[in-house]
Structure 1
Amino acid sequence: MVVRAVGRWWRKTGTCGRRRRGRLVLALAVSGLLAVLSGLGSWRPGVAVLVIGPVLACARLDARRTAAVAASALSLALGAGAASGLKVTPGLGIEFLVLLVGSTLAVRDAARHTADAAALARATDVAQASQNAILRPMSVEFGGIEVCARHRCAVQGASVCGDLYDVVHTPYGVRLLIGDVRGHDLDALRTTAATISAFRDLAYLTPGLADLATALDARLAPELGPEDFVTAVFAEFAPGEVRLVNCGHPAPLRAGKQVMLLEPLEPTPPLGLHPRPLPYRCYLQSGDRLLFYTDGLSEARDANGTDFPLLERVGDALAVLSPSDALDTLYAMVAAHTGHAPADDIALALCQPTSMVVPSPAARPSNPAACREP
């Protein structure tokens, strides 16, 4: 009867993964081995030692499976006692009591950590839903600028990723923010939400782009811990040019007649470390596209540790007509380079003017490819 019951229970667990099934086999095998040893007259510890099986099970299995292992251990203990011809004595009664109490505590502990895991799973679902609401993919056009943006959270087991982006149409022009929050936990989600919310408020109220970065740093200061920071690039589109402020973030890239990084004039620390950034601007020509990204793109490495050749490959990807298809192509190139799905978060924002208004000759830089101070 016991064998049939164990067989029925085993068949019910046939849908478990290999790892869970291996743990079940291990717990049952330990219980069986200890039962055999307990049936030997020379085995001193007695049947109480069979509690090891349920204890092993409760460490990794849920309450139902732990209870099955505990029932099996109790049944095996009775069988081992009968096989060894043990007489019912106070000592034997104490051993069975120890086994029974230990099995009960193991089942209770399994139920507790199963409930904790379920609560964590629910919290993770809420965090992911919140992140998707904050960082929704976008394909919009306003102020003569088409923006296509998306993110991929690639850290295995992470509930949220640390990348962020947003774009708003303000009295000072179309403004874009892309950044990277340190960490991948719920604190990172809170900081992401605070950063985007503050950007949306301040972008409409702050005329200067560098002043916007400074004001955002001051707004985030109470939210950040001593080791927290947010790398960020701010962009503001004007007729025939883009104005930029970079706070410790990978430089955006312009693809057109040539591909080049739009690097800041001087390095500036991230938000949270009290940056004093210098704004700079770059001239845009007809057909130019601007790619804003996080370091999950530029630091994607292959099996040999070689970074993704961004400057060499991005021109081909961004030559695709549709901005959405261009980002898909770029991500596929990264996956092909690494040999698997990228192991870090990647946020991408592709911007292109839909109607090019060229500034007057006096406002043009002598070298159109160069970036300069305003």
Structure 2
Amino acid sequence: MTMSRPTSGSAVLAWMPWVAMTVVAVTDVWAGPDVGFLPLVSLGPAFASLVGGWRRTALIGAVALTLTVALGLYDGLFEGRRGLTACLSVAGVTGAGLAAAVIRERREAELASVRSIAEAAQRVLLRPVPRTVGPLRMAVSYTSAIAEARIGGDLYEVVASPYGVRVIVGDVQGKGLTAVETAAVVLGAFREAAHDEPDLVKLGDRLERSLSRELEGEKFVTAVLAEIAAGGEVAFLNLGHPAPMVVRADGTVDFAEPSSYAPPLGLGMPGVDGPQQYRVGFLPGDQLLLYTDGVTEARDGNGAFYPLADRAHLLGEPDAHQALEALREDLSEHAAGPPHDDAAMLLVRHQGGPPAGGRPRSSP
């Protein structure tokens, strides 16, 4: 887990109490008591309550009250009501700041607890893919469209089955907790069925049946299933999902388009005119990128979509994880502002030799 670092904005706010009190004190001494700046010393504890804890707020409040008393005596304000009024102003703001700091600390503790639970859910839902399965090298990237979130509606998984290495990348309609729950259903069904079903069509039917029991209304999940076995080919089953990109050893780029797209999961009829799997060559030196539409539909400031095929050269890095990170950073630079959709990418490299767990099978 990556620890968060203080932002530059938080660092500025941390210094603001001292800066504010210093400016008010210098101005009061230089301009004299007639300006009436003394009550502004209360800006110190007010700023402290924004980022500091209650102890720091109390400390700065005490310093502010001491400074107010000192300046009030220096200016002779306690001969009338102005000195007492300034002290009461600082004390009142300090009290309000203490209450705000306590409430904020409690909320931050609750948020930290929720984040820890979300990270635990991420490890269960989106488990790290294996770096190596036989001759295959794999890397994954996930960017959530929801600020501070680690998971969303995109999903991926890799399973080494008796029939070959099976992969799924999918995109749940919608966002939020409902999308996460749907993704959990799909992934749970895939992890079980990938070991049992003899081909991708039956695997897709199994996912459809599992999802149809859970979905309500007209929600759906687009997905692409891939099976990499011996024979120099990869089989696909595309359920309304963007076509995977295949980068050949010589640098040429192909998109594994199906002859016809099948309905997404949740909108199809299992076993009746269902989707058909298809195959494309996948030889040593080739790379396979499965992704969600959050990648190809990312727009720049001029409204242009991300040119994925033109960026395939970024996958030339020797290390698969560094290559995918270079592509993710380029995607982030292309997009104008924060992402509007989740973006998942799964890279599979064929280093040579038959995939583990696979066995030769004739094409359908």
TM-score when scaled to structure 1? 0.67
Aligned residues: 336
- Aligned-partner SS, 1:354: coil
1:252: which partner in 2? 244
- 1:105 counterpart letter in structure 2: A
Alpha-carbon distance in 2 for matches of 1:130, 1:336? 28
Q: 1:264 aligns with which of 231, 252, 258?
A: 258
SS at 2:77 equivalent: coil
Question: What does residue 40 of structure 1 align with?
Answer: 33
The residue aligned with 2:131 is 139
Aligned residues with identical type, % of pairs: 30
Judge conservation of contact 1:210–1:279 (CA < 8 Å) in 2. Answer: no
- Provide structure 2 residue ranges, at least 5 long, that are not aligned to the other structure: none
| 1:311 paired to 2:309 | yes
Gaps of 5+ in 1: 1-14, 364-373
Closer, same or farther: CA 54–231 of 1 in aligned 2, 3 Å:
farther
Superposed, 1:270-349 pairs within 5 Å as: 270-271=264-265, 274-275=267-268, 278-284=275-281, 286-287=283-284, 289-295=287-293, 297-299=295-297, 307-314=305-312, 325-326=319-320, 328-332=322-326, 335=329, 345-349=343-347
Report the equivalent of 1:109.
Answer: 100
Contact 2:78 2:84 in 1 (8 A): no
Give TM-score, length-normalised by structure 2.
Answer: 0.69
Is the contact made by 1:229 and 1:270 (CA closer than 8 Å) also made in structure 2?
Answer: yes
Q: Following superposition of structure 1 onto structure 2, how do residues 80-159 of structure 1 map, counting pairs within 5 Å?
A: 80-87=71-78, 96-97=87-88, 99-128=90-119, 130-132=121-123, 134-141=126-133, 146=136, 148-153=138-143, 158-159=148-149
Partners of 1:82 and 1:278 in 2: how far apart? Answer: 86
Q: 1: CA distance between counterparts of 2:220 and 2:14?
A: 45
Q: Distance in 2 between matches of 1:66 and 1:198?
A: 52
Q: Measure the CA separation in 1 of the matches of 2:306 and 2:176.
A: 26
Q: Once the 2 structures are TM-superposed, how far is the Cα of residue 113 of structure 1 from its aligned partner?
A: 1.1
**Could you list the per-position Cα deviations for residues 225-260 of structure 1 after superposition, in whole angstroms to 9, with x for gaps in the alignment?**
x79764321224566554433334321123447632
Paired letter, 1:274: L
Contact 1:159 1:185 in 2 (8 A): no
Q: 1:66 aligned to 2:66?
A: no
